[in-house]
Copies of this chain bind each other. A is one copy, B any other.
Amino acid sequence: MSLSSQDITIFLLCVAVMLFFSRTIGELLRKWKQPIVIGEIIAGIILGPTLIGALFPELFKNLFQSSSNVNIVLQGITFLAVVMLLLVSGLEVDLTLAIRQGKTASLISLMGILFPFVVGFLSAWYFPQQLGISNSELHIEFALFVGTALSITALPVVARTLMDLNIFKTEIGFLIIASAMVNDLIGWIIFSFILAMIGKNSQGFNFGSTIVVLTIFIAFVFLILRKVIDFILPRFEKITTYPGGVLNLILVIGLAGAAFTEWIGVHAIFGAFIIGIAIGDSAHLKEETREIIQQFITNIFAPLFFVSIGLRVNFIQNFDIGIVALFLILAFVGKVIGCGLGAYWGGMNREDSLAIGFGMNSRGAMEIVLGTLAYQTGLIQEKVFVALVIMALITSISSAPLMSYFLKRSKRKLNFSDLLKKENIFFTDVNNKKEIIRELCMFASQKSKLNFEHMYKEVCKREEQMSTGLINHLAIPHARLKIQYPFVAVALNKEGVDFDSLDGEKSKVIFLLLTPQSEPEIQLKMLAEVSKKFSTKEIVDELSNESSIDEIILKMKQLS
C-alpha cells in the first residue's frame, strides 16, 4: 500500500492548514496575554467537527477525512510530535533547581499532587456516573486516572504565565517552577503505572512485571543513563559535526526510550519525557542545541498535535455541562487548596499561598496529552475528554489574572515586618550620608539582582528633594522602582550618621525602602508603619546597640 498523489496533496494541505490556523489564532490570543498553546487548541476546535465541520461538512470531510491513508500518516506525525514535545518538556526540567528550593517547594509539590489526587480519586470512586465513567469494569483505573488528571500541572504554560506577569525570576516564581517540575515528574510516573494497569500492551507483560521493568527503567535512566549522557555528550560533540551530531543523538536516545516504554505497555511519551530530563540535566548540553530542537518542535510539531485534539471530537455535541462543571470544580478545589496549603505550611502568607495555588492550577498542554491518551486507550469517553480539554483551557486562561489578583492583595496586606530579612541587615562604619546611601544601594542591588545605577540615581533624586532623616535616630531613604515586590535593606551604625534629621540627631538605623512604581500606596503605608513602629528614641538606641543581627531582627519584628 502506498500514498497516492491525491493522498499527498491532501496530506500537505492538511499540515499547511493546521499550521496556519494554529499560528494565527495562537498569535491573536498572545495579544491578550494568553499562552500560544491555548490558541492552538482553540484553532483545532474551530477547524474540527465542532465549527467548520458543522458549518461546512463537505469541506471538512474532503480535507480531514478523505482517505484512511492520510489519517494514518497524520496520526503518525502527531504521535511523533507529542513524543518529541515531551522530550523537549523533559529537557526543560531542572531537578537540581527543584531540590535547591527546599522545604516549601517540597510541601507545595507534595500537597499539589496528594490533595488533588485524593480529591479526584475519591470523587471518581464514589460518583463514577456523575464524572462520566464509560466502562464500569475499569472503576479503579478510572478513579486513579481522575486523580492523576487533577494533580497534573503544565510546566510550559506555567513558565509562560510567570514570564508574562514578570515574576519568573522572583522567589515565588522559582518556587512555582520547581514545584511544577516535581509535580509533573511524579504525575507522569503515576499515570504510567495506570497505563501499565489497564495493560493495553500486546507483549504479554502482566501488571507486576511491567511495574518492575518500569521501576528498573526509571532507576536506570536517572542513576546510570544520566551520567553516561553527561559523559558522552561533550566527547560526541567533538568527534561529530556540530550541532547535527548532538541533535541526532538526543533524538535517537529519546525515541529509543519512547519505544521501550511503549513496548512494556506504558505510553511512549513517558519514556521520552524521562530521557528528556536525563539529557537536559547535563551541563554539557549547549544552549544552541536546546534552542534548535525547542524552536522547531514547539513551533512546527507541537501545534500539529494540539490542533489535532480539536479535530477528533465535536465539542458541542459532547459538551455535558454537569461533567464539565464537576471537573472544573474538582480541578480548582484540588489544586488551589492542595498547593495553597503546601505553601501556607511552608511559611507563606495566605494571599501568596493562594497565588501559588492558582499559578500551579494551569493544566494546559499536559492535561490534554494525558486526556488524549486516556481517550485513545478507551479509559474515558468523549464527554470526559471534552470536559478535560475545557478544564485545561479554563484553568490555564484563569491562572494569570487570579495569580496577579492575589499577589496584589498580598502586597497590599504586607507589613513592614514581613520585609525585614536577616540577610538584608548589616553593620557599617561609614558615617557620611551620601556614602551610606551608596553602600545600601550596592548591597541591595547584589541581594535583589536589580540594576545598581538606576536604583542609586532614584534614591539620590528623592533624597535631594527633601532629606529622609526622621526623628529618633532613624533615616529611611527610599525610591519607587519597576519591581514587583518591595525590598528593604538595613544599615546599622552605632555612632550615627548625619542625615539632616528634623530633631538634629544623627541616624543610627537606616532603612533603604524600595517599592513597586505601579503601587505608590505601598510606599506610603510602609513609611507610616516605620514611624509608628520606631516611635521612641529608646527603641532605636537599643536596637543599634545590639551586636547580634539575630537579636535585632527578633526585636524589630516584635515591635508593634
**Measuring CB to CB, which residues of chain A are less than 8 angstroms from any residue of chain B?**
1-6, 8-13, 15-16, 19-20, 23, 27, 30, 36, 68-69, 71-77, 79-80, 83, 200-202, 239-241, 243-245, 247-249, 251-252, 255-256, 258-259, 262-263, 265, 268, 291-293, 295-296, 298-300, 303, 376
9 smallest CB-CB distances across A and B, nearest first, come from: A73-B76, A12-B259, A16-B255, A244-B299, A296-B296, A13-B259, A23-B248, A9-B262, A16-B256
CB-defined contacts of A68 to chain B, threshold 8 Å: 1
Once A5-B201, A292-B291, A300-B247 are accepted as A-B contacts, the answer to whether A16 and B75 lie under 8 Å apart by CB is: no
Give the nearest-CB partner of A291 in chain B. B292
Q: How far in angstroms is the closest Cβ of chain B from A237?
A: 12
Q: Is there contact, CB below 8 Å, between B12 and A268?
A: yes
A77–B78 Cα distance when bound, in Å, is 11
15 additional contacts, CB 8 Å, given A8-B262, A12-B80, A77-B77? A1-B71, A1-B72, A3-B72, A3-B75, A13-B259, A15-B255, A16-B251, A20-B248, A23-B244, A23-B248, A36-B244, A72-B72, A247-B295, A248-B300, A292-B292
21 A/B residue pairs, CB under 8 Å, sorted by A: A2-B376, A3-B76, A5-B202, A8-B268, A11-B80, A12-B255, A12-B256, A12-B259, A12-B268, A16-B251, A16-B252, A19-B251, A23-B248, A23-B249, A27-B240, A27-B241, A72-B73, A74-B76, A247-B296, A248-B299, A248-B303
Once A252-B19, A256-B13, A299-B248 are accepted as A-B contacts, the answer to whether A241 and B72 lie under 8 Å apart by CB is: no
Q: How far in angstroms is the closest Cβ of chain B from A446?
A: 33
This chain's copy number in the assembly: 2
CB-defined contacts of A5 to chain B, threshold 8 Å: 200-202, 262, 265
Q: How far in angstroms is the closest Cβ of chain B from A432?
A: 48
Q: How far in angstroms is the closest Cβ of chain B from A266?
A: 10
**Contact check: which of B69, B248, B268, B298 meets A72 at CB < 8 Å?**
B69
Q: Is there contact, CB below 8 Å, between A252 and B20?
A: yes
Give the nearest-CB partner of A289 in chain B. B295
CB-defined contacts of A265 to chain B, threshold 8 Å: 5
CB-defined contacts of A8 to chain B, threshold 8 Å: 79, 262, 268
A68–B72 Cα distance when bound, in Å, is 10
CB-defined contacts of A268 to chain B, threshold 8 Å: 8-9, 12
**Contact check: which of B4, B202, B248 meets A6 at CB < 8 Å?**
B202
CB-defined contacts of A75 to chain B, threshold 8 Å: 2-3, 73
CB-defined contacts of A376 to chain B, threshold 8 Å: 2
Give the nearest-CB partner of A298 in chain B. B244
Q: Is there contact, CB below 8 Å, between A263 and B23?
A: no
Q: How far in angstroms is the closest Cβ of chain B from A361?
A: 24
CB-defined contacts of A245 to chain B, threshold 8 Å: 23, 27
Q: Is there contact, CB below 8 Å, between A255 and B19?
A: yes
**Contact check: which of B1, B262, B295 meets A243 at CB < 8 Å?**
B295
Once A251-B300, A300-B251 are accepted as A-B contacts, the answer to whether A262 and B12 lie under 8 Å apart by CB is: yes
**Contact check: which of B19, B76, B243 meets A248 at CB < 8 Å?**
B19
CB-defined contacts of A36 to chain B, threshold 8 Å: 241, 244
Q: Is there contact, CB below 8 Å, between A3 and B73?
A: no
CB-defined contacts of A9 to chain B, threshold 8 Å: 259, 262-263, 268
CB-defined contacts of A292 to chain B, threshold 8 Å: 291-292, 295-296
> Which of A9, A20, A77 is packed against the most chain B CB atoms within 10 Å?
A9
Q: How far in angstroms is the closest Cβ of chain B from A417?
A: 42
CB-defined contacts of A258 to chain B, threshold 8 Å: 12
Q: Is there contact, CB below 8 Å, between B248 and A15?
A: no
CB-defined contacts of A1 to chain B, threshold 8 Å: 68, 71-72
Give the nearest-CB partner of A256 in chain B. B16
Give the nearest-CB partner of A195 in chain B. B5
CB-defined contacts of A20 to chain B, threshold 8 Å: 248, 252
A72–B7 Cα distance when bound, in Å, is 11
Q: Is there contact, CB below 8 Å, between A299 and B247?
A: yes
Q: How far in angstroms is the closest Cβ of chain B from A226?
A: 19
Q: How far in angstroms is the closest Cβ of chain B from A439?
A: 41
CB-defined contacts of A3 to chain B, threshold 8 Å: 72, 75-76, 79
Q: How far in angstroms is the closest Cβ of chain B from A327?
A: 26
A299–B240 Cα distance when bound, in Å, is 12
CB-defined contacts of A291 to chain B, threshold 8 Å: 292
> Which of A19, A79, A249, A296 is packed against the most chain B CB atoms within 10 Å?
A296
CB-defined contacts of A4 to chain B, threshold 8 Å: 202
A397–B46 Cα distance when bound, in Å, is 52
CB-defined contacts of A293 to chain B, threshold 8 Å: 296
A365–B153 Cα distance when bound, in Å, is 45
**Contact check: which of B6, B10, B15, B23 meets A80 at CB < 8 Å?**
B15
Q: How far in angstroms is the closest Cβ of chain B from A74?
A: 8
A71–B3 Cα distance when bound, in Å, is 10
CB-defined contacts of A262 to chain B, threshold 8 Å: 5, 8-9, 12
